Structure 1
Amino acid sequence: MNEDQKLIVNSGHANMLNELIDSMKTCNSFYFSVAFVNFSGLQLLLDPLKEAQDRGIKGRILTSTYLNFTDPKALQKMKEFDHLDLKVFVTDKEVGFHTKVYIFEYDDYDKVIIGSSNLTQSALKSNIEWNVEIISKQDGAFIENVRREFDRLWNDSFVADQKLLDDYAAYIRDLPTIDAKKSLIFEKPDYITQNRMQQRAVENLERIRSHGEQRALVIAATGTGKTYMSAFHVRDIEPKKLLFLVHRGEILRKALASFELLIPAQLGKTCGYYTGEKKDREADYLFATIQTMQRHYQDFEPDEFDYIIVDEAHHATAPSYQRVIDYFNPNFMLGMTATPERSDHLSVFELFDHNVAVEVRLHEALDDELVIPFHYFGITDIDEVDLSDIDIDNLSEVTKRLQVHQRVDFIIENMQFYGYDGDTRKCLGFCASIEHAKYMTEAFNQRGIPSVHLSGHDDDRMREATMNRLESDEDELEVIFTVDIFNEGVDLPSVNSVLMLRPTNSPIIFIQQLGRGLRKHPDKSFLTVLDFIGNHNRTFLIAIALNGSRFYDKDSLKVAVSTDFANIPGATHIQMDEISKERILAQIDQENFNSMQYLKDEYNEFKQLRNGKPPYFLVDYFTYDGSPDPVKFIAKKQHYLDFVASLERDNQLKAMMQDVHFDKALKNLSKKLPIKRIHDFVIIRYLLDHDQITLQTAKTEILKHVQSVDEDTVLHAFEMLNQDYLDHIKKTHELKLAEFDGEATLTRTEAFAAILEDESSRRYIEDALHYGLLRYEREFHDANYGVPHFKLYEQYQMVDAAQLSNYRKTHSAFRGSGLLKNGKEFFLFIDLHKEADIDERINYQDKFIDRKTFQWQSQNSTRQQSEVGQQIMYNRQHGVRLHLFVRKYREIDSKREPYIYIGIGDTIEAYGEQPITAMLNLTHEVPQSLYVEFTEKV
Structure 2
Amino acid sequence: MAEKIVRPILTYADEAHHSSADSYKKIMNYFKPRLWLGMTATPDKRDDNLEGRNIYEIFNHQIAYEIRLQDAMKEDLLCPFHYFGITDLEVIADAGKSSEEKFENFKYLTSDERVLNVMKQAKFFGYSGERVKGLIFCSRIDEARELSAKFNEKGWRTLVLSGSDSETVRAAAVERLAGDEAEDALDYIISVDIFSEGVDVPEINQVIMLRPTESPIIFIQQLGRGLRKAEDKEYVVVIDFIGNYRNNFMIPIALSGDRSYNKDNIRRYVTEGGRVIPGASTIHFDEISRKRIFQAIDNANFNDIKLIRENYMNLKNKLGHIPALADFDKYGEMDVLRIFDNNSLGSYYKFLVKYEKEYTTRLSKDEETVIEFVSKKLANGKRIHELEMLKRLLKYQNGIMDLLKKSLHDNYNCSMNDNCAENVVNMMTNEFPTSAAKKTYSQCVFLEKDGSDYKVSKLFSEMLQNKDFYRILEELIDFGILRYKDNFSMRYQDTDLVLYQKYTYEDACRLLNWKRNEVPLNIGGYKYDKKTKTFPVFINYDKQDDISDTTKYEDHFTSSDHLIAISKSGRSIESEDVQNFLKAKERGIDVQLFVRKNKDDKISKEFYYLGRMTSTGAVKEFVMPNTDKTAVEIEWALDTPVREDIYEYIVNG
TM-score greater than 0.5 by the shorter chain: yes
How many Å separate the matches in 1 of 2:634 and 2:90? 54
**Counterparts in 2 of 1:724 and 1:868: CA distance versus 1, 3 Å:** same
Tell me if 1:903 matches 2:632.
no
**Counterparts in 2 of 1:718 and 1:399: CA distance versus 1, 3 Å:** same
Contact 1:678–1:776 (8 Å) recurs in 2: yes
- Corresponding residue of 2:639: 923
Alpha-carbon offset, residue 903 of structure 1: 2.0
Contact 1:539–1:584 (8 Å) recurs in 2: yes
Tell me if 1:660 matches 2:389.
no
Alpha-carbon offset, residue 897 of structure 1: 3.0
1:909 is paired with a residue of what secondary structure? strand
How many Å separate the matches in 1 of 2:414 and 2:313? 45
Report matched runs for 1:485-884 at 5 Å.
485=195, 495-507=204-216, 509-511=218-220, 513-514=222-223, 517=226, 523-534=232-243, 542=251, 557=267, 572-576=282-286, 588=296, 592-593=299-300, 599=304, 602-603=307-308, 631=338, 634-637=341-344, 639-640=346-347, 644=351, 656=362, 659-672=365-378, 674-678=380-384, 680-681=386-387, 695=404, 698=407, 709-712=413-416, 719=425, 722-723=428-429, 726=432, 729=438, 733-736=442-445, 749-757=460-468, 762=471, 772=480, 779-780=487-488, 783-805=490-512, 807=513, 810-813=515-518, 816-817=522-523, 818-821=526-529, 823=532, 825-831=534-540, 838=547, 843-844=552-553, 846-857=555-566, 872-877=581-586, 880-884=589-593
Alpha-carbon offset, residue 469 of structure 1: 6.7
The worse-fitting range, judged by mean Cα deviation, of 519-528 and 786-795 is 519-528
Alpha-carbon offset, residue 380 of structure 1: 1.6
1:799 is paired with a residue of what secondary structure? helix
- Corresponding residue of 1:338: 67
Contact 1:793–1:901 (8 Å) recurs in 2: yes
**Counterparts in 2 of 1:920 and 1:383: CA distance versus 1, 3 Å:** closer
Contact 1:564–1:576 (8 Å) recurs in 2: no
Query: Which amino acid letter does the alignment assign opposite residue 852 of structure 1?
Result: D
How many Å separate the matches in 2 of 1:773 and 1:366? 29
Task: Specify which structure has the bigger relative contact order, considering alpha-carbon pairs within 8 angstroms and separated by 6 or more residues.
Answer: 2
Alpha-carbon offset, residue 909 of structure 1: 0.8
**Counterparts in 2 of 1:546 and 1:623: CA distance versus 1, 3 Å:** same
How many Å separate the matches in 1 of 2:105 and 2:330? 28
Report matched runs for 1:247-326 at 5 Å.
292=34
How many Å separate the matches in 2 of 1:861 and 1:406? 57
**Counterparts in 2 of 1:473 and 1:798: CA distance versus 1, 3 Å:** same
Query: Which amino acid letter does the alignment assign opposite residue 605 of structure 2?
Result: E
Contact 2:83–2:240 (8 Å) recurs in 1: no
1:664 is paired with a residue of what secondary structure? helix
**Counterparts in 2 of 1:628 and 1:867: CA distance versus 1, 3 Å:** closer
How many Å separate the matches in 2 of 1:838 and 1:873? 27
Residue from 478, 483, 502 that aligns with 2:193: 483
TM-score by length of 1: 0.47
**Counterparts in 2 of 1:877 and 1:676: CA distance versus 1, 3 Å:** same
Contact 1:385–1:401 (8 Å) recurs in 2: no
**Counterparts in 2 of 1:313 and 1:691: CA distance versus 1, 3 Å:** farther
Deviations 1:457-486 (A, max 9, x none): 999x999x8999799777977647363438
**Counterparts in 2 of 1:436 and 1:674: CA distance versus 1, 3 Å:** farther
What RMSD over aligned residues (CA atoms) do the two structures have, in Å? 6.4
Contact 2:503–2:606 (8 Å) recurs in 1: yes
2:80 is paired with a residue of what secondary structure? coil
Contact 1:864–1:916 (8 Å) recurs in 2: yes
Contact 2:448–2:454 (8 Å) recurs in 1: no
Residue from 587, 597, 600 that aligns with 1:892: 600
TM-score by length of 2: 0.63
Contact 2:430–2:444 (8 Å) recurs in 1: no
How many Å separate the matches in 1 of 2:601 and 2:563? 27
Query: Which amino acid letter does the alignment assign opposite residue 498 of structure 2?
Result: K
Alpha-carbon offset, residue 847 of structure 1: 3.7
Contact 1:494–1:524 (8 Å) recurs in 2: yes
Report matched runs for 1:115-134 at 5 Å.
none
Contact 1:638–1:670 (8 Å) recurs in 2: no
How many Å separate the matches in 2 of 1:414 and 1:594? 33
2:343 is paired with a residue of what secondary structure? helix
Alpha-carbon offset, residue 884 of structure 1: 0.8
Residue ranges of structure 1 left out of the alignment (5+ in a row)? 1-245, 251-289, 296-310, 326-334, 340-359
Residue from 402, 415, 422 that aligns with 2:129: 422
How many Å separate the matches in 2 of 1:646 and 1:392? 37
**Counterparts in 2 of 1:887 and 1:718: CA distance versus 1, 3 Å:** closer
Residue ranges of structure 2 left out of the alignment (5+ in a row)? 1-9, 15-31, 45-53, 622-629
Contact 1:621–1:627 (8 Å) recurs in 2: yes
Contact 1:312–1:338 (8 Å) recurs in 2: no
Query: Which amino acid letter does the alignment assign opposite residue 757 of structure 1?
Result: D
**Counterparts in 2 of 1:321 and 1:615: CA distance versus 1, 3 Å:** closer
